[in-house]
Structure 1
Amino acid sequence: MPTAEELDVEAIRADFPVLDRRVGDSDLVYLDNAATTQTPEPVIDAITEYYREYNANVHRGLHQLSQEASIAYEEAHDTVAEFIGADGREEVVFTANTTMAENLVAYAWGLNNLEPGDEVVLTQMEHHASLVTWQQIAERTGATVRYIRVDDAGRLDMDHAREIVGPDTAMASIVHVSNVLGTINPVAELADMVHEQDGLIFVDGAQAVPNRPVDVAAIDADFYAFSGHKMAGPTGIGVLYGKERLLESMEPFLYGGEMIEKVTYEDSRWNELPWKFEAGTPPIAQAVALDRAIEYLESIGMDRIAAHENSIAQYAIEQLHAMEGVTVYGPPAGAERGGLVAFSLDTVHAHDIASIVNDHGVAIRAGDHCTQPLHDTLGIAATARASFYVYNRREEVDALIEALDAAREIFA
């Protein structure tokens, strides 16, 4: 983990208007960033500019507004490609979110390539977007799903990974950073392991791309996905990175306008990449805003964002461990991890925790966080989760701890 220069958090906070809100009698303390981050003024401005100045469909008109919208939309692909280390816009497909990206690959590649005897390797910490999707595809194709175990420290058991990744492994779908444990998985090592067996690897980067440098080429991911709304961008847009040769070989997932080159009554021919996988009117305003969000994050520095998040998470872990009756899940304090902390309080249900701290203006998440099997493995129905971003301060962790003390007193 790099040692970052101290961020000017107050200056950053000034860019996020919602952080000035009050909840009841308290200032808002927003600690639900793993679900969705807040949006800075430059990104809001980008959306407004699009609708005020050049709102038009792309690739369909010769008029000035359509030309401007088309250029902005295409340049957004270029920005994303550079941001994640892809070779070019041909490898960047815009989707609705990470879940849709996972489904695109599962349907466009999985249904056409998996067969009985093939294995899909997942981990016990997968989000439902990965786990449920590949379960369903395996049922339809006769493939088998296998899971890499999570050890007692909340990390992947890599010895077990080496046992189950073998010649029958056709696809591995691995979360880069766990949205419950905060574990940063060794995805490059896993990619090497899978490629040695001639399999492919899909990496779910929803909790990684927003807060740390990611280079898909260095990882050697075959597919990589993430969402705009978790990285200071808008809802309604996600990204699927895919190696060009793989995307070229795949059939489209959706059919209709934009994704075609030639249509007759008898047959159709598909458009070039990436438009082949972007059927219908695409998320134009969202793409323009995502472009601006990336520009905003890069102006701060992804290394610095990662270090800041880790620092806040480490402080939160220390404070939570100091509380009686609290269990913190995931790698221990001092270990590099993502900027989130899932925990339980032995006398209070997670949903009650979230409700009571909300009365103090603190926004956290409670539930299984779309990881029911992982929670079953942990032996708990639900956890509370505090997750941090570039605008959070240590004082907000203190506010959370004070609110948790209040919750414990209520249920004492």
Structure 2
Amino acid sequence: MAPLDVAAIRADFPILKRVMRGGKQLAYLDSGATSQRPVQVLDAEREFLITSNGAVHRGAHQLMEEATDAYEQGRADIAAFVGADPDELVFTKNATEALNLVSYTLGDNRFEHAVGPGDVIVTTELEHHANLVPWQELARRTGATLRWFGVTDDGRIDLDSLQLDKNVKVVAFSHHSNVTGARAPVAQLVERAKAVGALTVLDACQSVPHEPVDFHALDVDFAAFSGHKMLGPNGIGVLYGRSRLLENMPPFLTGGSMIENVAMEASTYAPPPQRFEAGTPMTSQVVGLAAAARYLGDIGMDAVENHERELTAAAIEGLSGIDGVRIIGPRSMEHRGSPVSFVVDGVHAHDVGQVLDDEGVAVRVGHHCALPLHRRFGLAATARASFAVYNTPDEVDRLVAGVRRALDFFGGA
């Protein structure tokens, strides 16, 4: 496979031309938190708002028709990108809301898969708070018990730490950890869940932008991802759900757009996905996210994955070669995605981040919305570099050099 023309790709991202404090060229290594947007996405949103902005699925005028067509074509394009059918995708304001939608409806006894007293909800110690706290709340509301898979010393899910039984109703896990980068053993987890009749919920925020993802092939029941992490707009997330499950699920939010009929005594609801899209939808964001999906699709997700794997491997090798730096997560690319979290002996993660910022290198510092995982490793915070299709080997070199500078400046342990 030919290498990517990264220079041409970078030309699509105006923000990457920025010169930061001290005259340093921006090296943006924080795409795991939020990615940058290409002009193709910015232009798609702008063009829609200038020419076709209207209320979706309302009225009979031309702008409404054009807006509705753009909205539903966007759904189809995004569905094709993740290996799903259009009616299996629900638009939400972010992935957190998508995961809350699932957890909330699983507490509604109108749903055949509703969770109740004596049932067990399973997650993992690797999770972002968005795939942990909603399940804690579901357990609290329903009287169910929350259990979890532990984490190995190299930051992967420890499959031997928990056995599933017939009381388990839900197994929720991340495709890639946003801290350790660890890739979940999806096939094994799905097989175990199916064996006990449990539903599977996948947090795919850190995988969809970085590698080919096919939800049908993964065979999960639900999955969530966000727009702003895959070169798309803020304010939009996506929930994937199997059609047969969505058809039987009660609504999450109620009001306009999601109804079939309303009387003073009671209401009936539209079929999915409209049932779960109450109110005026985020039409321009859908248009922008669809443009992002097409942009990545035109590059080719195999090529994106290969490029990012090379960058990640180089970062791990470079950081591991510094005495006093410890990688939190798997070293082997077989078991990981692009986030690389690390600690520097004797230097707080925020100080590392500040030194890197002085060099124009943007990374994430803190607990990355994963406090239990940091406690598992006895850490208050880590620094994290996360890569995207627009990053370069030179930026990896700048990361490694900046970490060396931080260690030298603060004196290490």
TM over 0.5: yes
**Equivalent residue for 1:389?**
388
Distance across 1 between alignment mates of 2:140 and 2:312: 39
**Which residue identity does 2:314 align to in structure 1?**
Y
Distance across 2 between alignment mates of 1:157 and 1:407: 33
**Equivalent residue for 2:200?**
201
Distance across 2 between alignment mates of 1:379 and 1:300: 40
Q: How far 1:402 moved relative to its partner?
A: 1.8
Determine if the alignment matches structure 1 residue 401 to structure 2 residue 389.
no
Q: How far 1:335 moved relative to its partner?
A: 3.5
Distance across 2 between alignment mates of 1:311 and 1:107: 40
Query: How do 1:123-142 residues align onto structure 2 when only pairs under 5 Å count?
Result: 123-142=124-143
Distance across 1 between alignment mates of 2:124 and 2:314: 28
* Per-residue deviation, residues 365-411 of structure 1 (Å, max 9, x unmatched): 00000000000001111000000000101110111122222222221
CA contact (8 A) 1:117 1:143 kept: yes
CA contact (8 A) 1:122 1:174 kept: yes
* Per-residue deviation, residues 89-119 of structure 1 (Å, max 9, x unmatched): 2211000111000000011123431111100
Determine if the alignment matches structure 1 residue 16 to structure 2 residue 13.
yes
1:50 to 48, 51, 56: 48
**Equivalent residue for 1:96?**
93
Query: How do 1:47-196 residues align onto structure 2 when only pairs under 5 Å count?
Result: 47-86=45-84, 88-112=85-109, 113-161=114-162, 163=163, 165-196=164-195
CA contact (8 A) 1:317 1:333 kept: no
**Which residue identity does 1:268 align to in structure 2?**
S
**Equivalent residue for 1:340?**
339
After TM superposition, the structure 1 stretch with the greater mean CA deviation from structure 2, 309-318 or 4-13, is 4-13
Query: How do 1:25-40 residues align onto structure 2 when only pairs under 5 Å count?
Result: 25-40=23-38
Distance across 1 between alignment mates of 2:304 and 2:351: 31
Determine if the alignment matches structure 1 residue 216 to structure 2 residue 212.
no
**Which residue identity does 1:66 align to in structure 2?**
M
* Per-residue deviation, residues 134-190 of structure 1 (Å, max 9, x unmatched): 0011011010111111111222122234x2x11111001110000001111111221
**Equivalent residue for 1:305?**
304
**Equivalent residue for 2:259?**
260
**Equivalent residue for 1:314?**
313
3-state secondary structure, aligned to 1:261: strand
Distance across 2 between alignment mates of 1:167 and 1:351: 45
Distance across 2 between alignment mates of 1:157 and 1:336: 13
Alignment coverage as a number of residue pairs = 406
Distance across 2 between alignment mates of 1:272 and 1:111: 18
Distance across 2 between alignment mates of 1:257 and 1:334: 47
Q: How far 1:334 moved relative to its partner?
A: 4.7
TM-score with structure 2 length normalisation?
0.97
3-state secondary structure, aligned to 2:80: helix
3-state secondary structure, aligned to 1:166: coil
**Equivalent residue for 2:379?**
380
Query: How do 1:221-240 residues align onto structure 2 when only pairs under 5 Å count?
Result: 221-240=220-239
**Which residue identity does 1:133 align to in structure 2?**
P
**Identical pairs, percent:** 49
Q: How far 1:6 moved relative to its partner?
A: 0.7
Distance across 2 between alignment mates of 1:211 and 1:362: 21
3-state secondary structure, aligned to 1:179: coil
Distance across 2 between alignment mates of 1:84 and 1:293: 12
**Equivalent residue for 1:411?**
410
3-state secondary structure, aligned to 1:33: coil
Q: How far 1:61 moved relative to its partner?
A: 1.8
* Per-residue deviation, residues 314-373 of structure 1 (Å, max 9, x unmatched): 000000011110000111145442112000001210011111211111100000000000
CA contact (8 A) 1:108 1:252 kept: yes
**Which residue identity does 2:402 align to in structure 1?**
A
CA contact (8 A) 2:107 2:141 kept: no
Distance across 1 between alignment mates of 2:193 and 2:107: 16
**Which residue identity does 1:215 align to in structure 2?**
D
Q: How far 1:313 moved relative to its partner?
A: 0.5
TM-score with structure 1 length normalisation?
0.97
